[in-house]
Amino acid sequence: MKEGFGMNNIRNFQKIKSMDDFDNIDAPVYLEKIMQPNFDKAPKEQMILRMLVRPKYGNWKIPEELMWLEDIIIDCANVDSNITGIADSWCYVTVRRGPVTSVTDDEWHFDGASFRTDIIPERNYIWIDKVGPQYKTGQIDWPKDFDPNKHNLFSFAGNALKDNPILDMKEKSWSLLSPFVFHRRNPITNEMKDRTFIRISFPDIEGRDINNTHNPLLPTPFFGRNPVASFRNNLKDYGK
């Protein structure tokens, strides 16, 4: 089953994210107006993980290896600021093109759902050539004492939505995922010989993750943080 949201259902991205936002779980928003990628100049294989291409309030720093995506990155930034009314955000690019090797994202999750700081919701624009992520929509009744800094948001949402149908995201289409889209990589992806996944993200805070691919046009950063190991793996399932 393939479905998505119309623009009339779009979130208010200027409001600080709160637990109330997770009462209703979104479908992706399909965006026809962002241009399709042109792979003529793209490398046959490319693995770039959350490379910073524009600091908040900074200029574009798009390195040679991402030049084939330059027009789309800028197009996407314009669409994002039209949708959200937000002009300045960090911009990160992920490209996974070639054989599928990593196994992260196989579990059901929300992107950018951390509550460690009070922030507006991040926006993730994604495009996949085949076998898109799976997602679920629905409503969740969160217990009053549910604390996303102590309890695992993903496992609670997974239980709450366990009987809801698994939907497939559209292929070869740009989709906006708010942090309120519950999704996972389609498990069959791991058996695929090659695949192209592109993600252009606009968070409101710098993603100081030790695993990010370094942008040669920007200074070498100091990263002391591995968010999955330091935070996510320490969360408890609610009620346990």
Which residues sit at the interface with Fe ion, rule CB under 5 A? 111
Q: Shortest gap between Cβ of 96 and Fe ion (angstroms)?
A: 12
Q: For 147-225, where are the alpha helices, taking DSSP H only?
A: 153-160
What residue is closest to Fe ion based on CB?
A: 111
State residue 55 phi and psi, 5-degree precision: -70, 155
Contact 199, 53 (CB under 8 A): no
Contact 192, 131 (CB under 8 A): yes
Give the nearer residue to Fe ion in terms of CB position, either 62 or 90. 90
Q: Shortest gap between Cβ of 183 and Fe ion (angstroms)?
A: 6
Burial of 89 (0-12, 13-18, 19+ CB in 10 A): buried
Give the nearer residue to Fe ion in terms of CB position, either 62 or 167. 167
Give the nearer residue to Fe ion in terms of CB position, either 80 or 111. 111
Give the nearer residue to Fe ion in terms of CB position, either 62 or 198. 198
Report, in this order, helix, strand and coil percent for the chain, each rounded to 5.
20, 20, 55
Q: Shortest gap between Cβ of 87 and Fe ion (angstroms)?
A: 25
Q: Shortest gap between Cβ of 108 and Fe ion (angstroms)?
A: 10
State residue 86 phi and psi, 5-degree precision: -110, 120
Q: Shortest gap between Cβ of 120 and Fe ion (angstroms)?
A: 18
Give the nearer residue to Fe ion in terms of CB position, either 111 or 204. 111
